[in-house]
Chains A and B, each alone.
Chain A
Amino acid sequence: MTKTITLLLLLLTTTIGFSQQQINGEITDNNGIPLGGVNVLIRNSSKGTISDFDGKYSLEATAQDTLEFSFMGFRTQLIPVNDQSVINIILIEDSSQLNEVVVTALGIKKEKKALGYAIQEVDGQKLEKAKEPNFVSSLTGRVAGLNIQNSTDLFQDPQISLRGASPLLVIDGIPDRTTDLWKVNSDDIESISVLKGATASALYGSVGRNGAIMITTKKGKKGKLTVTVNNSTMFQTSFIKVPDVQTTYGNGNQGVYAYVNGSGSGTEGGGWIWGPRLDQTDSSTPSGYFETPQYNSEVDPATGELIPLPYISRGADNIENFFRTGLIQTNNVSVDWGSEKASFRTSISNVYQKGIVPNTDLNNTSFNLGGSLNPSENLSINSSLTYNKQYTDNFPEVGYGPTNYLYNLILWTGVDVDIRDLRNYWREGEVGYQQRHFNISYYNNPYFQAYEYQRGYNKDNIFGNLNVEYKLTPHLSLKGRGGANVYSLNRTYKEPKSYIGYGDRSRGDFTVADATYFDITTDVGLKYDNHIADQIGISGELAYVNYYRQSTSHTTGTDGLNIPGFYNLDNNAGATFIASNREEKETIHSFYGFVDFDFYDTFYLSLSGRNDQVSTLPEANNSFFYPSVSASLVFTELLDTPKWITFGKIRGSWSQVSEGKIGNNPYSHIQAYEKGTSWNGVPSTFFGNELLSSDLKPETSDTWEIGLNTRFLNSRLGLDIAYYQTKDYNNLIYSSISQSSGYNSILLNGDEYKRRGIEVVLDGTPIKTKDFRWDAQVNLSQYRRYQEEIYGDREQTDAFIRVGDRTDKIYAGVYQTNEQGQVIFENGYPVSDPYSRFIGYNEPDLTYGVSNTLSYKNISLSFLFDGRLGGLMYSDTNQKMWWGGTSPGTVNQFRDDANNGESTFIGNGVKIVGGSVEYDVNGNILNDTRTYAPNDVPVNYINFMQTTSNGYNKNYHYYKEDFIKLREVTLSYNFTEKIISKLPFSDLSLSFIGRNLWLSSKIPNVDPDPGRDNLQAPATRNIGINLNAKF
């Protein structure tokens, strides 16, 4: 051991022994503008530096050395040192980024200009500063066609849709079919490539049918040993959108409220917020206000009755008083080193998120190890391994209902209740048995929920990959790759006694759910790469892949608890446990191959094919082949284009991809019995409602795509347009059949859809001077899906879609209207239409994102706006506010009248005074002799709202989804050389960061960003700082 060290030291000394000389210089572009951040490396060593903001660099080298200058978007240059001590260099801009390389399917690097399909890249640096708890949310607005609908709740996945479908997630070439968006820390991401179409990801096979989001992790760079520390701390200080509730009336019904026991009949247990006016003065009471018994009233020892308390708006600030400032803190330390022979990177990161709900948090820790090795010229190996742990003792339940915080806090709580009075959440003398709340039949005390209803989550992820490539001849290599994803997940659900679910008052319960998962993808193949003639290249691969997946899960729960608050299965109060388990295995055996040609750096052609054999279809039809072809032509090389066109390329592709798995269950192609409810211990089974066709085949999508990619004005302006069209056919659908046939549907190959869309990416550098630079990018996209065929002898689908219609048409239950569109009333109430009617479309007309970066010397400011235009979303929150009495719109004279027992509200519409109407089976009017008069029947306003939720005035609570959001602002300062030289850093930057800062939208009370309204947590503004230091 000592020997080795001595030897090493000796070697080191020897190296130092060469005569070192100081080299200085300045790096500029061909306009004379200094280039900062250029990598300057001594070739074949790990020594190097980076130029400062003024383009200056200095390092020590020997005369024998060669310096390598490399910078993104510029051609790399090699300069031998010889006896020079000043080496100034002009880097030639890679006009049009001609040779820019992107990562494509299976991790294969290709030149951008050679691509016949659309790929958009996001540099990992863009994700480094203003952090989201998961990296996918950070992609919002940055990629045209990638629509991300972010959740505002803690630890909830955003909805990702790429060209209207759910894309595959790929980590270092290995598909992650668990789609865990939390297991990769954004600090470990080198770059993200979004492969938009089926052609781009066809090599992944069926799972890549809807495109892919490919993550390349950092592997270690050639150069000196660098230690990077990155910290982001963000505070969730305020809300950009909170339901705006009225504070004029309190709990109760029909203007009356008197607490009895929290679940009584009449005005208190029903849980309405249709109570008396708050803050009414009353000179006859001690307080001077109207008084009534409330949940926190004391009992009069003389009479045994509750002593009335003043009924005032004490709880107007319940939201601010309950939620706390959330925190998202991200720390990452990485060590990075590389030489010609090997490179290595290791990092440790932790994301800690403190929820805005008290007693909720999330920890996400990762250890990552990655590196590459080139032991001989012919052999290269690279590998990475990550251990990731996601854990929390409690994170909030989401979705509409009594398990939701907003539900209990403002939607269904009048402001006569002050949340601060509820902090003591057990009823006196009933600790562990009965929560203390103003209503114990429908709602939970939010503090009781936060501190007693606990949902634990503990997931251990291990994933990694190993790639080996061995050159058999200069043109032919053998490749092998293996990648695995493993996790184990343990979840616990602790439910205290008296906890309220829908229709259920808990007797206390404890449930444990465990799951294990393992998948492995192994490839072996041959790779060929050659120039068969001058300027004509050919390359290709042929490979065999095996995919295997295995998962188990089991859940055991109690049927009530004996001892309150003791969460152990042994504490089960029931005779038996409620338990279930599941096991799944699945495999795919595939061959794939592709061949790429390039002619004169001008025309590129690529062909691919893949054959899958799957376990998830009946054996008769489980093997299938699908091809793709793509081409691109750099027309600026062929034609004599004007000088202002720097670069131009057209591309086109066609692909076919088939899918042999039905939904998520690998056994969907097997018909069998389901377990039914046991009755007093007697077991039962039943047969499901879906019949299977005996002849199931894979479903197939054919996609063609064309695109234009051009750059103008010396590359200052770029435009990329993509148009695609997909035909989905042989779809594995549950085609509905008459229920009288015994089944609701039959699983078969049928229906046909057309998907099409357009994506535009515009980028440019409007201003570029010595000190100032403005870069901008605009992403626009639109997506549509149409019904092309309906299986069977049917005019329309269950959702009333006909051939040629957009499939996102929304039909809803509405009220009957006359020819003029006036709502028809009977006895003062609107009359329901027995037929669902069309009310609008779901999909947006345009999804957009606009990002800007302004940099001046060491300071840069970037900001990102994004949003959607068009489309409708249903809002539970708004509907419930009108229904329950919290909507500010309910504050009016009619309500006061109703509180006085008077029926004064007359709905705007007509009543039938004669005649009748006949419909056909689809609800078309055959014969209508109805005559009308204006509705003149006054009704009780409260009854009216409780019956209608004001739906007929509010488009049945389908609201326009349009919005614009200021998604991100980052103000960064890179410390100058002068300051850094006095510090132990090689690089230091400080940024002020903000996410989710401002919103303008058409829908009231909710943030439309998630694309749906499940009464999610209020959307927060996140503001903080980021510190990045390199040693």
Chain B
Amino acid sequence: MNRFISVLLIFIFPICFNSCSKIEDLQEDPNRATSVSPELLLTNIETRAFDNVSLSSALASRYLSYTNGVNSNQYYNWQRSDFGGYNDLKQVKKMVEESENAGIEVYQILADFFNSYFIIDLTQTFGDVPYTEAILADEDIYQPVYDSQKSIYLKVLNDLKSASDALAVNQEPIAGDIIYNGDKLQWRKLINAYYLRVLMSLSKKVGDTDLNVRSRFQEIINNPSQYPLMTSNSDNGALAYHNIQNNRYPYFNDNDLQTAYYMEQNFVERLQEFEDPRLFAFAERKPNAANAPVNDFNSYGGLKGSEDLNANTSKAVSGEASRIAERYFFDPVNEPSILMSYWEQEFIIAEAAVRSWISIDPQVHYRNGVEASFDFFTTQIPEDYFDNDQISLNGDDEIQKILEQKYISMFMNTGWQIFYEQRRTGFPEFNTDGAGILNNGRIPKRWMYPMDEATNNSANLQDAISRQFAQGDNINAEMWILQ
């Protein structure tokens, strides 16, 4: 009896617990899904593409200045950027896979737009980057070759065009769309407007017969029914923020923005010269004029981006510099982030007209752009605004004037776009004459490739560098679109 009980006692343990722990039952992760519907990916991709408000860009583009140390964006001695954009491209690829599985085409069409957007962002940053062999790790391509910038642009132009054409005839609904709530006409407008932006970024390549920049541009402008364009700010490709955790304005409550960033002096002076009341929407009065009227242009001041840091901090300490307007750090919703706006489209058309790519009067589109920008910043445009010789499109310095208006309109929106526009056209002028300037007084033209490419894709990287830049991987080297 004793023996029986003992044996029973010993065997009872494993018997009870073996049955509830079958290995084959534990091969699924209860915490994650292995397949999803494509709209879930679209939502994430949209937040990645449209959420692009950047203080780094604001420093590099001379909207703001920073006083807590020598900032490499402001003093132009930055070094590397990263390949994070490929993660976004992968999400797009996953969306395509899932929509193929589900037999839905519309997400595949939108994918062409997002692929184009993300790869343009990458090539604008570095020059040549991998594209045709990119995002093929699941086909065992771990070291993709770099594509030439020209071939990337060619593919993008073709993809955007076919996306626009395909969307015009597609009948499927778009779910999970936090930008246009599934409105396909608005998507077509965005894609066409973006197509114009890409063409304009090739303004130095207008003679290239493979690209046919001019005729491609004309094709859009001349076929408004096939290629509709944005007609107002309600068509903006914009992501609205909400007062919900992780949906708030990215600099809401940001301590640095409150205490260490100031308006840039040249930017403030330009608005003062133009007597442009958007200044009151951008900036706070300087501490020394805190009690002066809001609409007194003299109540505002800034710190010159290239100035010696000591001079800037002294000036800030003495109360002569304005902070950015409070809403940028106190309002959780503030204003939407913009991938591409109606006003940008209008400035592009005006520039194309000035460049004689199309035969339209640039004036109308120029005014449309300026008015839309005032509207976005909920500021009343002064009646005599266009009477100012520096603003009026009267035949002199028209490209410069368009770019200057584009500059003002892109304050804290549209990511790094204005920096690329300045790089392409030289307008507006970003000061480099201050005593604090680094990089030998040059504005960098690009970023160095990420360090880990040297480890993980060394041969292709070396090949790409040597065929593009004689001086090696260097921030001052000129990529193909700028040549």
Contact = CB atoms under 8 A, between A and B. Distances in A.
Given A576-B244, A797-B455, A546 B44 contact: no
Nearest to A898: B310
Given A270-B260, A672-B32, A829 B438 contact: yes
B309 A589 contact: no
Contacts of B32: 667, 670, 672-675
B170 interface: no
A683 B38 CA distance: 12
B43 A679 contact: yes
Contacts of A524: 10-11, 13-14
B176 A682 contact: yes
A677 interface: yes
Interface stretch (A221-229, A595-603, A684-692, A862-870): A684-692
B137 A583 contact: no
B143 to A, nearest CB: 6
Contacts of B10: 468, 470, 478-480, 524
A740 B259 contact: no
A266 B137 contact: no
A795 B287 CA distance: 56
A264 interface: yes
Nearest to A614: B23
Interface stretch (A51-59, A702-710, A916-924, A972-980): A916-924
A678 B70 CA distance: 37
Contacts of B136: 741-742
A890 B308 CA distance: 21
Interface in A466-484: 468, 470, 478-482
B90 A548 contact: no
B313 A940 contact: yes
Interface in B1-42: 2-3, 6-7, 9-14, 16-18, 20-24, 26-36, 40-41
A613 B23 contact: yes
A832 interface: yes
Contacts of B437: 827
Interface string B202-218: 00000000000000000
Interface string B442-473: 00000010111111111011100100000111
A73 to B, nearest CB: 36
Nearest to A793: B143
Given A583-B31, A742-B135, A266 B316 contact: yes
Interface in A546-595: 546-548, 559, 574-576, 578, 582-587, 589
27 contacts: A266-B259, A478-B6, A522-B13, A523-B14, A524-B13, A545-B14, A587-B21, A587-B26, A589-B18, A619-B27, A666-B26, A670-B34, A674-B32, A678-B246, A679-B46, A679-B239, A684-B41, A687-B91, A738-B83, A738-B453, A740-B83, A741-B136, A742-B86, A795-B455, A796-B455, A800-B455, A939-B308
Contacts of B69: 943, 946-947
A269 B473 CA distance: 40
Nearest to B26: A615
Contacts of A675: 32
Contacts of A684: 40-41, 43-44, 47, 176
A736 B314 contact: no
Given A615-B26, A738-B144, A831-B77, A480 B9 contact: yes
Interface stretch (B250-258, B377-385, B412-420): B250-258
Contact of B450 (A256, A739, A901, A919): A739
Interface of B: 2-3, 6-7, 9-14, 16-18, 20-24, 26-36, 40-41, 43-44, 46-47, 67-70, 72, 77, 79-80, 82-84, 86-87, 89-91, 93-94, 129-130, 134-138, 141-144, 176, 178, 239-240, 242, 244-247, 253-256, 258-260, 262, 287, 308-310, 313-314, 316-317, 319, 321, 323, 435-438, 440, 448, 450-458, 460-462, 465, 471-473
Contacts of A916: 471
A492 interface: no
Closest 9 A/B residue pairs (Cβ): A480-B10, A940-B310, A587-B21, A667-B29, A522-B13, A672-B32, A684-B43, A742-B90, A738-B457
A744 B86 CA distance: 9
Given A587-B23, A827-B438, A940-B313, A921 B14 contact: no
B17 A739 contact: no
Interface of A: 253-254, 256, 263-267, 269-272, 375-376, 378-379, 441-442, 468, 470, 478-482, 503-505, 520, 522-524, 544-548, 559, 574-576, 578, 582-587, 589, 613-615, 618-619, 622, 666-667, 670-687, 689, 691, 736-744, 746, 792-798, 800, 826-827, 829, 831-832, 834-836, 898, 901, 903, 916, 918-923, 926, 939-940, 942-943, 946-947
Given A667-B32, A798-B455, A918-B472, 14 more contacts: A254-B313, A270-B68, A441-B255, A522-B17, A670-B32, A679-B43, A684-B41, A736-B452, A742-B90, A742-B137, A827-B437, A921-B453, A921-B454, A943-B70
B17 A680 contact: no
A226 B67 CA distance: 71
Contacts of B462: 920-921
B204 to A, nearest CB: 26
Contact of B6 (A468, A622, A903): A468
Contacts of A687: 41, 90-91, 94
A435 to B, nearest CB: 15
Contact of B77 (A583, A826, A939): A826
Contacts of B317: 253-254, 256, 266-267
A940 B24 CA distance: 67
Nearest to A794: B455
Given A478-B10, A482-B13, A670-B32, A739 B452 contact: yes
Nearest to A831: B77
A203 B33 CA distance: 36
Contact of B7 (A271, A478, A481): A478
B130 A522 contact: no
A717 B94 CA distance: 68
Nearest to B41: A685
Contacts of A795: 455, 458
A738 B314 contact: no
A619 B23 contact: yes
Given A468-B9, A622-B23, A741-B144, A943 B456 contact: no
Contacts of B316: 265-266
B33 to A, nearest CB: 5
Contacts of A574: 244-245
B262 A265 contact: yes
A905 B175 CA distance: 61
A691 B258 contact: no
B109 to A, nearest CB: 19
B260 A546 contact: no
Name the residue among A267, A584, A682, A746 with the largest chain B CB count within 10 angstroms: A682
A263 B455 contact: no
Contacts of B31: 582-584, 667
Nearest to B50: A679
Nearest to B261: A265
Given A589-B23, A685-B44, A746-B142, A680 B247 contact: yes
Nearest to A502: B255
A265 B258 contact: yes
Nearest to B137: A741
A379 B2 contact: yes
A1010 to B, nearest CB: 28
A267 B438 CA distance: 26
B259 A901 contact: no
Name the residue among B35, B86, B244, B450 with the largest chain A CB count within 10 angstroms: B244
Contact of A548 (B17, B27, B440, B457): B17
Contacts of A901: 310, 314
B77 A442 contact: no
Given A266-B287, A575-B244, A670-B28, A742 B472 contact: no
Contact of B259 (A265, A685, A686): A265
